[in-house]
Structure 1
Amino acid sequence: MSANNTKKIRLGLIGVGNWANNGHFPVLALFPQYELSAIYSQRADAAQEAAQKHGIKHVVKTLDGLVRHPEVDLVLVLTTGPQHEEGIRAAIAAGKDVYCEWPLTPDVKTSAELVALAHVAGVRTILGVQRRFAPAFRYLRDLVAAGYVGKLRSVRLHVSVNSFGQRRPSGLRWSVFPENFMGVTSIFGAHLMDPLFSVVGRPKEFSALMLNQIPEVIIAETGEQLRTDVPDQLLMSGTLQGGAVFSVHIEGGKHNGSGVRLDITGDKGDLQLTNTSAFGGPDEHYQILGASGENVPLSALPIPAPYKVVPDSTGLPTGVLELGDLYALHAADVENDTRTLPSFDDALWMQQLLELAVESSTTGRRVAAPIL
């Protein structure tokens, strides 16, 4: 859809939280293809404030009114994980295309029900795991596909964050409770394994270890002490569908030197992707190094300009710019009647993968990966 096309994609927003304010709103302001048409929140004052600040035409009083509003083409479910189900069911029942943040819901059974409902209704679903569309990951995927490293032999991903440690801000209080399915291994695991597997292919089988090494969490603002058994360490190792071996390590509460490192080895060369941040703040960009041949030093591989959909000059954090890449691709999907974005099917697959990781960790057995 070109910027000159007068038919905009009209958005209806459910929820006005931190990610809506600091992610979606600033990104959507960059894309004339979209119109912020309607908004609903259980906090009516927050919805009204957002509408005034961002020029949203309609403040709707009920969830049903939002999803059935005649000027809404795509429903954005931006509430917390445990609240997603209600908004998704309503959007599907209204026959509206729907976007939802990860995780789809806190449990596999409910997520599977929503996927089935979406298929029956024939609506387009979009999962908010936008990292695979970061310029670095798209370039890396093309390098691998073009044979830069030859046939894949091994893949190793390490993701560490300095948050999710013993002292946490009140904004992370929800991460303590297992029923929310929003700990560091489920959140950062999904957001970084999704782009990993988009580059190298999905697993065939694996074994896993999930541990909680921080059984007591202290809320920084209040001193509240909470017991938790939510894992803060995830180790996975196994084979990919193509035969290469892979390993993934996700850990929270790392005090120093946190970030992302991905090593890809083939029979003809090597690639390495790094970032000093697992989220991506201002100027925290992924760097790619590569080498082909034997005993060749790794050298920088600058990301070509065409991969950068949203200019760095916006001043937005790189973790937010990736959301812009997702919105740009959705607009192209609508114009071309294609479907390139992750769907709720992908959400269910990732949730099943993480559930199998728990099974493997509990039983000590190797498990077969789910098939999408």
Structure 2
Amino acid sequence: MPDPRKPIGVGIVGLSATGGWAAGAHLPALKAVDGLELRALAASSEASAQAAGVAYGVPAYTSVERLAGDENVDLVVVAVKVPRHRELVVPVLKAGVPVLSEWPLAVGLREAEEMAAAARTTRTFVGLQGRASPTFRWLADLVSDGFVGEVLSATVVASSTEWGTPVSPNLVYTLDRELGATMLTIPFGHAIDLVSMVVGELRDVVATTATRRRRVPLGHTGQVVAMTAEDQIAISGTVAGGAILAAHHRGGAATGAGFSLIIDGTAGRLEITGAEFPHLGPVTVHGTRNGGQPAELTLPSGYDDYPALAGTPIHTLAHAYAAIRDDLVHGTAVAPDVTHAVRRHRLLDAIARSAASGRRETLPPR
């Protein structure tokens, strides 16, 4: 357990001098949180490691083993493409160093289970940062405290501009359903995790999926590339207590992306709307009780520790880093870990199996 009097040293795999998600989101998020400090990084080549080391003023390595072996690194962050997660996370776990892996944790359920087994007693965290969102933590409390009464149903309608519109060359891999970075795992996976946090985990699920666009434009080159990832996902099932959860996520949206969640209960209704990625962007909440007209509800105090970041993609990520810091310092277990990631992968796997067989799949209890 880190010394609470000293900052937690962070080493990032995938922090590049040329930008990217680690540089644009992870680095400013951890800088916003007291008690965290970038101490080292790892890159895939000597040239990129040297460039990044100079850019950020920290030691740079070309192997995750050397990064994990740095005595100043207390937490390794793996922020690279999904197909490389296992090969990078497992050595860190074997070294006994806490690790944060981006979501999706793995390319599939079996690989996720292998990574969880490798964790043993090492602290792990997974990048389902939406669970740290001030608004969704408040929504979970509203539902738990009975704002809508007994939950009767939850309905999700969401859309993504990706998976049908022109794709950039560096994102072509997201079109391959075997590489684990698809619409099912990323926007749908993040969204269903948030919904599960608010209304409860699915106990069973039946799904219909389709790949309606099997060829996608490659940027503006005039060429096209194959797509095997699903661009239409529809599910329904029951959560604890018997409420019905239904969700439809659509890819390649022509009129822009969006997210909508409606929670109906015996005493009221909540309507949540936002952009494509509710785990990153702001959402608006309307609510009504006992037959009144829906009115916008305002986030109360006590939930948002970083209001200056509101409306930016790093807002929830900063809250997630704060939860990770507190878990490491105080031995708590608030931030989602690889066990939680396996649970989410298990749901996605059940959706894929149901869509293939046409049968309802039962999910194991928590």
Structure 1 distance, partners of 2:163, 2:108, is 21
Pairing of 1:172-251 with structure 2 (within 5 A)? 172-251=171-250
How big is the shift at 1:306? 2.0
Query: Residue 72 of structure 1 corresponds to which residue in structure 2?
Result: 73
Q: Is the 8 A contact 2:83 2:179 kept in 1?
A: yes
Query: Residue 96 of structure 1 corresponds to which residue in structure 2?
Result: 97
Query: Residue 282 of structure 2 corresponds to which residue in structure 1?
Result: 285
Query: Is 1:109 paired with 2:110?
Result: yes
Q: What runs of 5+ residues in structure 2 fail to find an aligned partner? A: none
Query: Residue 295 of structure 2 corresponds to which residue in structure 1?
Result: 299
Q: TM-score, normalised by structure 1?
A: 0.92
Measured against aligned partners, the alpha-carbon deviations of 1:252-291 in whole angstroms (never above 9, x if no partner) come to 111115211110111011111111343677xx52111111
Query: Is 1:320 paired with 2:314?
Result: yes
Measured against aligned partners, the alpha-carbon deviations of 1:267-321 in whole angstroms (never above 9, x if no partner) come to 011111111343677xx52111111102x1100111123211212x34x753321
For residue 335 of structure 1, give the secondary structure of its aligned residue in structure 2: helix
Q: Which amino acid aligns with 2:24?
A: N
For residue 189 of structure 1, give the secondary structure of its aligned residue in structure 2: helix
Measured against aligned partners, the alpha-carbon deviations of 1:80-100 in whole angstroms (never above 9, x if no partner) come to 101011111110110111110
Structure 2 distance, partners of 1:286, 1:178, is 29
Q: Classify 1:239/1:280 alpha carbon distance in 2 versus 1 (closer, same or farther; 3 Å).
A: closer
For residue 228 of structure 2, give the secondary structure of its aligned residue in structure 1: coil
Query: Residue 352 of structure 1 corresponds to which residue in structure 2?
Result: 346
Q: Is the 8 A contact 2:68 2:97 kept in 1?
A: yes
Query: Is 1:309 paired with 2:305?
Result: yes
Query: Residue 61 of structure 1 corresponds to which residue in structure 2?
Result: 62
Q: Which amino acid aligns with 2:249?
A: I
Q: Classify 1:95/1:276 alpha carbon distance in 2 versus 1 (closer, same or farther; 3 Å).
A: closer
How big is the shift at 1:221? 4.5
Structure 2 distance, partners of 1:236, 1:179, is 21
Query: Is 1:23 paired with 2:25?
Result: yes
Greater CA drift, 362-371 or 134-143: 362-371
How big is the shift at 1:192? 0.8
Q: Identify which of 47, 50, 53 aligns with 2:52.
A: 50
Q: CA RMSD in A?
A: 2.0
Structure 1 distance, partners of 2:297, 2:113, is 41
How big is the shift at 1:12? 1.4
How big is the shift at 1:371? 3.3
Q: What runs of 5+ residues in structure 1 fail to find an aligned partner? A: none
For residue 168 of structure 1, give the secondary structure of its aligned residue in structure 2: coil
How big is the shift at 1:219? 1.0
Greater CA drift, 143-152 or 165-174: 165-174
Measured against aligned partners, the alpha-carbon deviations of 1:184-224 in whole angstroms (never above 9, x if no partner) come to 12111111111110111101112101110110012115333
Structure 2 distance, partners of 1:117, 1:280, is 28
Q: Which amino acid aligns with 2:90?
A: R
Q: Is the 8 A contact 1:39 1:60 kept in 2?
A: yes
Structure 2 distance, partners of 1:10, 1:163, is 36
How big is the shift at 1:353? 1.1
Structure 1 distance, partners of 2:46, 2:211, is 38
How big is the shift at 1:154? 0.4
How big is the shift at 1:170? 2.1
For residue 298 of structure 2, give the secondary structure of its aligned residue in structure 1: coil
Structure 1 distance, partners of 2:138, 2:338, is 25
% identical equivalent positions: 29
For residue 96 of structure 2, give the secondary structure of its aligned residue in structure 1: coil
Structure 2 distance, partners of 1:139, 1:365, is 35
Q: Is the 8 A contact 1:36 1:55 kept in 2?
A: no
Structure 2 distance, partners of 1:279, 1:218, is 26
Q: Classify 1:32/1:96 alpha carbon distance in 2 versus 1 (closer, same or farther; 3 Å).
A: same
Pairing of 1:326-345 with structure 2 (within 5 A)? 326-345=320-339
Runs ≥4 residues deviating over 4 A = none
Q: Is the 8 A contact 1:353 1:370 kept in 2?
A: no
Q: Which amino acid aligns with 1:301?
A: L
Q: Which amino acid aligns with 2:297?
A: L
Query: Residue 135 of structure 1 corresponds to which residue in structure 2?
Result: 134
Greater CA drift, 83-92 or 24-33: 24-33
Measured against aligned partners, the alpha-carbon deviations of 1:139-160 in whole angstroms (never above 9, x if no partner) come to 1011111111111100011221
Q: Is the 8 A contact 2:31 2:37 kept in 1?
A: no
Q: Classify 1:15/1:71 alpha carbon distance in 2 versus 1 (closer, same or farther; 3 Å).
A: same
For residue 10 of structure 2, give the secondary structure of its aligned residue in structure 1: strand
Pairing of 1:30-49 with structure 2 (within 5 A)? 30-49=32-51
Q: Is the 8 A contact 2:78 2:101 kept in 1?
A: yes
Query: Residue 148 of structure 2 corresponds to which residue in structure 1?
Result: 149
